[in-house]
Amino acid sequence: MNSSFNKLLTFKTMINILMIIVLSTNFLLIEGVYALSDSKQLVLDAWTLVNEGFYDPDKFDEIQWKRIRQKTLQKQIETSEEAYSAIEDMLRPLEDPYTRILRPKDYELLKSSNFGSEINGVGLQLGEDEDSKKVIVVSTLGGSPAEESGIVSGEFIEKVDGIPTNVLGLANTASKLRGESGTKVLVEITSKLGEIREVDLERRSVDLRPVRTKRLRDDSHTIGYLRITQFSESVPKKVEEALQELREKEVEGLILDLRNNSGGLVSSGIAVADSLLSKRPVVETKDRNGIKDAITSQEDTSFDGPMVTLVNKGTASASEILAGSLQDNDRSILMGEQTYGKGLIQSLKSLGEDSGIAITVASYLTPNGNNIQGQGITPDKLLDLVDTSEYGSSDDKWVRNAELFLESLLEKEEVSIEDNEFKSEETINVVAKD
C-alpha cells in the first residue's frame, strides 16, 4: 500500500514538475514574442507585409523565407538604421530590386514625387538591368541637372561619390542621388559604348510639370501635342483639362508624347487611358494567386480623334501600360523605340518612424496578353533618329514625323468623306432620273 502510494506521489510530483517546465517555457516564449524592441518590431512588420503581399510566393520556399526571419531577428538590432540594414539583407534573396525598404527621407521624397509637382535631386529615373544587374538610367527628367549634363537612357551608374553601385544597390543609389538643393554629388557613368566619365551634379528642386500641351498648326490641319512626363496623382485631372483646352482649339489629331516617362502611379496611367478609350480593355493584372483581373475603360472619352503615341527606351511601367492599351486596341499608332520593359506593380506600405516599404504585388499584361517585363513594347513604326534635348520643340524630328503621319491620316479621311459624298450625290441623281 505504501509502495503504491509512494509511486502515485512520485508520479504526481513528476507531472507537476513537467507542468512547471511547460508553463515556464511558454511564459518565456510569450515574453520573447512580446519583448521585441521597437527596432526588431520594425523588421518583423516588414517581413509580415512582404509575406502577405509579394507577387511570387514560390520564391519563399526557394530561399527559406521563414528561416531568414528567424535568423534576422536573432541579430543585434538596436537602432532604426540597424533595422533598415537588416531589412535590406532580409529582402536581398528575393532578387527583386523593386521590393525595398524606404528610409524616412526616401519615403517622403517618393510620396512627394507621386503626389506633388517638385522633387529635390538630380532628375534621374533608375532601374536594374536585366542582364548585368547594374543600375541603369531609365530616363532623365526634363529640365533636370541630369538631362542638362547629357546623361541619357541606357547608360549605367557605376559609382556615386566613389561608392560602387553594386555595393549600394538600386534603392541606396537612388537615395544617395537625392538631397538638399545646392549640394553636389559625383557620379561615375558608363556609356553604351563602354566609355567611362565622371559627372559632377548639383542637386536642385526639379519642377516635374507632369503634363504639357500645345497646338501645332500648318496650312491645312491643326494638331494637338500632349506630353506626360510621369504619372502622379494629379495627372488624370490635368490631362482632362489639357484635352478640353485642345478641343476648344479644334485640333483634328493628337500626338501623345510618353518619351522618358518612367511611370509612377499605375492607377493614374489607367485613368488617362479612360480619357482615350471607350469601353475597351486597358490592362490585365496577375496577382500572387494567379488570378487575372482585367481592367476596362469607361464609356465616355475626352478625345476620340486620330492619334500617334511617341515612346522610347525611357518609356516604362505605367506609361507602357497606357501605350500597350492604345496599341492593342488599334486606338493609336506607336512610333519611336522599343520601350524599357517594366511589367511589375509595387504597393507602397507605411512602416514605423515614417519609413516605408515598396512591395512588388503583381505583374501586368497588355490587353492582347503580351508580357512587358524584360521585353518592352515594340512600336508600329521604329524611328532611327537622334532624340532631341527639348521634347516638343521645333527641332524635335520625332514630333515632326508624328505630325506628318497624322496629316496623311487626316487627308485620307477627307478623301474618304468626299468619295462618300460623291457616291451619295450619284445615288440621288440616279433616283431622280428613275
Residue whose entry in the numeric block shows the C-alpha cell 509637382: 117
- List the catalytic residue out of 45, 274, 328, 396: 328
Are 67 and 376 in contact by the 8 Å Cβ rule? The answer is no
| Residue of 268, 297, 317, 363 with catalytic role | 317
CA distances from 385 to 78, 294, 307, 397 (A): 55, 36, 20, 7
Q: Catalytic: which of 40, 238, 313, 342?
A: 342
- What is the C-alpha separation between 367 and 327, in angstroms, rounded? 9
- Neighbouring residues of 46: CB distance < 8 A, sequence distance ≥ 6: 87, 90, 91, 101, 351, 357
Calculate the CA 57 to chain-centre distance: 21
CA dihedral over 167, 169, 175, 177, signed as positive or negative: positive
Q: Is 56 a catalytic residue?
A: no
Cell 469607361 identifies what position? Answer: 298
3-class SS of residue 355: coil
Residue 190 φ/ψ, nearest 5 degrees = -110, 125
Q: Which helix (H) or strand (E) holds 205?
A: strand 204-207
**Contact by Cβ (8 Å): 101, 119:** no
d(Cα 17, Cα 39) in Å, to the nearest integer? 36
User: Per DSSP, what are the bridge partners of residue 275?
Assistant: none
DSSP 93: G
317 a catalytic residue:
yes
Quick check: 137 and 152 in contact, CB under 8 A?
yes
Q: How far is CA 145 from CA 16, 36, 128, 264, 391, in A?
A: 74, 44, 21, 20, 16
Strands 356-365, 281-286: pairing kind: antiparallel
147: left (phi over 0), alpha (psi -120 to 50) or beta: alpha
313 is an active site residue: no
Cβ-based burial of 110 (10 A; exposed 0-12, middle 13-18, buried ≥19): middle
Active-site positions read 317, 328, 342
